[in-house]
Amino acid sequence: MDNERGDMVDTTATTDSPARLYAKIVGVTVLLVGIVGVILGDPKDGLLGLFNIDIVEDIIHLGTGGLLTYVGFKGTNAMVKSTVTLLGVVYLIVGVVGFFLPELFGLIPHDYDLADNILHLTLGALALFSVSGNAAKERTATI
C-alpha cells in the first residue's frame, strides 16, 4: 500500500501504538474479569458490588478480552486498528443503550447500572481516542 508520498507502507507491521497498547492492557484486563466472573461471580452482588456480572457477560468478556489480547500482542497494525475501532464503537453503543434499556433488549438477565454504563462509555472513548492517536502518529511518520 502506498502513502501520500508514494512510499510503500507495510500494513503487516506490528509497531507499538496507542491502539496496540489499549488492546494489550484492556484485553488482558477484560479477559481476567471474564475469568474471575466465571469462577467467583455472584449475579446478585455483581463484581465488587458495583458491576453487573452473569454468565452471558462473562462469556462476552472472555471473547472480547481474548480478541483484544490476541490482536494487541500478535496482530498486524491494521488488525489492531480495525478491532479496537469496532469494539470501541460497540462499547459506546452498549454504554448509551444501557441508560435507556438496562437489560440490553433482554440479552442479559441483570440490568446494567450507572457504573456499568460509565465503564462501557469510558472504554469506548479510550478505544477511539487510542485509534485517533495512532492515526496522528502515522501522519507525522509519513511527513
Per-residue pLDDT tens digits for 79-95: 999 999 999 999 999 99
Query: Can you give the pLDDT at residue 3?
Result: 54
d(CA 112, CA 71): 28
**C-alpha dihedral over 125, 142, 25, 28, to 10 degrees?**
110
More confident: 114 or 82: 82
CA distances 74 to 31, 69, 70, 84, 86, Å, are 16, 8, 6, 14, 18
Q: What is the pLDDT of residue 40?
A: 75
Picking from 139, 138, 130, the residue whose alpha carbon sits closest to that of residue 13 is 138
Q: What are the pLDDT digits (tens) for 4-51?
A: 655 555 555 667 899 999 999 999 999 998 888 888 766 666 555 556
Q: What are phi and psi of 91, to 5 degrees?
A: -60, -40
Q: Residue ranges of the domains in the chain?
A: 18-142
The string of pLDDT tens digits covering residues 49-61 is: 556 667 888 888 9
What confidence score (pLDDT) does residue 96 get? 94
